[in-house]
């Protein structure tokens, strides 16, 4: 009897765990979680932020349709929060990973919120009575918030958080909370979770514009980054959607956009193109004109890279219908006029003549870089990164011949939001039913129609922008996802 039980336990240890951990709760992580949950997998959605949503939660509109970003994301937020197959674990980070494919042991550190999540109703009464003002990182430091706060109104989970670095311990929030949710003695908790697969979708952070001091960011108040300008345009932003410049609260008429700040720049170590800056600058310029009809945006660019579906038409429409002005050059210097706080831009025009032009506001179109937290997490997980901390230097630690079912995602997605969503959907369609070294059966779910050899498979993967097949190993170099089953 004991021997039979031991054999059963040993057999269970070899069985893959039917759960997946998704690290990163942005739009890509949420879509991956929803797709997996609908397929029957139990999903742990982990994020270091107090809420899910990622950078998209800060956007006002999306290109090329100018649709409301929150209108697109809110249904996914709500569905992720209420899906029975998804457990959201926020304000947490990965400490380490043990085991192997099919049975990973992930140790999480859950940081204290100082709020009972099962008691908090999200009413916001505590924040109304908090006497402390702190910098609001959601609005990129352009406004203030209380020491007890929720990141943004539509946040999931809708549970408040106490910023203990700012909290003075007055106890007002505890006294006004009818749900008795405040917990000043909350502590850090370690939790170990077993999963069969791990998806890394940690997103990105924007380039630190202070590394380009010639543009005056951090010195001149009317020089802002593109994400700050996005918050200025947003109805949930510091000015409730009114376009006002930071120095004096007046409406700027002449607004300059400087492209490729932190992208295609060997001096700061970012030789790559971030792929979205041309389009989001065009979008922000159009939205600015919609807010204030007399705004005159000028975009200083090196090359316009409008490579996505409908992007070039969007760019042409911006010039023809909205009167956006594009100047092909790189601005060399930005100076401030002392009395007016206006900004003087020095550049060479397309004829090679030196020009100095005055603007009321300057927007720096900053590129995307991996966050420091993401790089540190990769080190803790034993994942080697290349110089850009984007793709794996060596063969991936996930190999199809090692286990039965794997989910492959690109590490650090740097795609456009529409392309990311499209790629994730493509990943849900592309399913590999059998696996051998020299041939793989390819087809749609429950309908494997083709038997392809490796060279044919390579072309198929390129068409779908999915995973790459090379010498019997699937290398996750493109976008986005796939499911692979080893032949029984």
H-assigned helices in 396-474: 417-429, 454-464
419 vs 416: CA distance, rounded Å: 5
Domain 112-182 and domain 207-367, same fold? Reply is no
Predicted confidence (pLDDT) at residue 118 exceeds the cutoff of 70: yes
- The DSSP code for 137 is T
Contact 93, 108 (CB under 8 A): yes
Q: What is the mean pLDDT of residues 173-185?
A: 95
User: Over the stretch 227-270, which tens digit does the pLDDT of each residue have?
Assistant: 999 999 999 999 999 999 999 999 999 999 999 999 999 888 88
Torsion, Cα of 305, 423, 22, 116 (10° steps): 70
Q: Would you call 336 helix, strand, or coil by DSSP?
A: strand
- Separation in Å, CA 180 to CA 33, 115, 176, 189, 463: 32, 9, 9, 21, 55
pLDDT band at 4 (very low <50, low <70, confident <90, very high): low
User: What confidence tier does 460 reach under pLDDT thresholds 50, 70, 90?
Assistant: very low
The token duo for 295 is 């705004």
Residue spans per domain, the chain: 14-109+192-202+370-485, 112-182, 207-367
Least confident residue range of 60-69, 103-112, 122-131, 378-387 = 378-387
Summary mean pLDDT of the chain: 80
pLDDT tens-place string over residues 299-357: 999 999 998 889 999 999 999 999 999 999 999 999 999 999 999 999 998 888 899 99
Mean pLDDT (whole number) for 437-461: 35
Residue range 199-206: mean pLDDT, rounded: 87
Contact 265, 224 (CB under 8 A): no
Place of tokens 């943004």: 152
Q: How far apart are CA 129 and CA 412, in angstroms?
A: 40
Class of the CATH-defined domain 207-367: alpha beta
- The answer, as to whether pTM is greater than 0.85, is no
| Nearest one of 4, 5, 49, 56 to 23, comparing CA atoms | 49
The kind and range of the H/E element at 380 are helix 372-380
Question: What is the band of 191 on the pLDDT scale with cuts at 50, 70, 90?
Answer: very high
- CATH of 112-182 given 3.30.70, 1.10.3470, 3.30.1300, 2.60.40: 3.30.70
Residue 440 in this model has a pLDDT that exceeds 80: no
The topology (CATH level 3) of 14-109+192-202+370-485 is FAD/NAD(P)-binding domain (3.50.50)
Paired with 190 in beta bridges are 109
379 burial level (CB within 10 Å; 0-12, 13-18, 19+): exposed
Whether pLDDT at 414 is above 90: no
Contacts of 480 (CB under 8 A, 6+ apart): 28, 409, 410, 413, 415, 420, 423, 424, 426, 427, 465, 466
Q: Where are the alpha helices (DSSP H) in 272-361?
A: 277-291, 311-320
């Amino acid at each position: 009897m004991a021997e039979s039980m031991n054999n059963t336990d040993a057999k269970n240890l070899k069985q893959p765990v039917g759960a997946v951990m998704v690290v990163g709760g942005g739009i890509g992580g949420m879509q991956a979680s929803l797709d997996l949950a609908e397929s029957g997998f139990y999903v742990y959605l982990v994020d270091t932020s107090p809420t899910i949503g990622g950078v998209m939660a800060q956007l006002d509109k999306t290109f090329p349709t100018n649709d409301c970003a929150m209108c697109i994301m809110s249904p996914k937020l709500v569905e992720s929060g209420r899906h029975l197959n998804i457990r959201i674990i926020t304000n947490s980070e990965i400490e380490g990973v043990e085991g192997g494919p099919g049975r990973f042991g992930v140790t999480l550190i859950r940081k204290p919120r100082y709020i009972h999540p099962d008691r908090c109703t999200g009413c916001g009464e505590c924040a109304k009575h908090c006497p402390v003002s702190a910098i609001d990182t959601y609005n990129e430091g352009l406004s203030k918030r209380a020491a007890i706060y929720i990141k943004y109104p539509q946040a999931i989970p809708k549970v408040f958080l106490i910023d203990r670095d700012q909290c003075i311990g007055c106890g007002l929030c505890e006294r006004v909370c009818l749900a008795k949710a405040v917990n000043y003695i909350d502590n850090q908790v370690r939790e170990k979770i077993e999963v069969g697969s791990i998806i890394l979708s940690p997103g990105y952070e924007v380039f630190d514009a202070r590394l380009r001091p010639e543009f005056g960011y951090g010195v001149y108040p009317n020089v802002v980054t593109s994400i700050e300008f996005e918050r200025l345009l947003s109805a949930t932003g510091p000015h409730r959607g009114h376009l006002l410049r930071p120095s004096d609260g007046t409406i700027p008429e002449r607004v300059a956009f400087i492209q490729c700040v932190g992208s295609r720049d060997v001096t700061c170590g970012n030789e790559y193109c971030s792929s979205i800056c041309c389009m989001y600058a065009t979008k922000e310029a159009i939205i600015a004109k919609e807010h204030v009809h007399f705004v005159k945006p000028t975009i200083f660019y090196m090359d316009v890279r409008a490579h996505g579906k409908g992007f070039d038409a969007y760019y042409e429409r911006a010039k023809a219908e909205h009167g956006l002005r594009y100047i092909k050059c790189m601005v060399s210097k930005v100076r401030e006029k002392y009395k007016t706080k206006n900004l003087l831009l020095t550049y060479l025009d397309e004829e090679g003549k030196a020009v100095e032009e005055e603007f009321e506001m300057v927007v720096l179109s900053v590129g995307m870089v991996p966050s420091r937290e993401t790089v540190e997490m990769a080190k803790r997980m034993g994942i080697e990164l290349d110089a850009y901390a984007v793709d794996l230097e060596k063969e991936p630690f996930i190999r199809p011949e090692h286990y039965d079912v794997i989910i492959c995602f690109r590490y650090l997605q740097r795609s456009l939001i529409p392309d990311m969503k499209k790629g994730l959907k493509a990943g849900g369609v592309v399913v590999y039913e059998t696996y051998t070294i020299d041939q793989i059966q390819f087809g749609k779910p429950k309908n494997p129609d083709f038997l392809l050899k490796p060279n044919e498979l390579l072309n198929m993967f390129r068409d779908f922008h999915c995973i790459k097949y090379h010498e019997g190993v699937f290398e996750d170099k493109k976008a986005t996802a796939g499911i692979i089953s080893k032949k029984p």
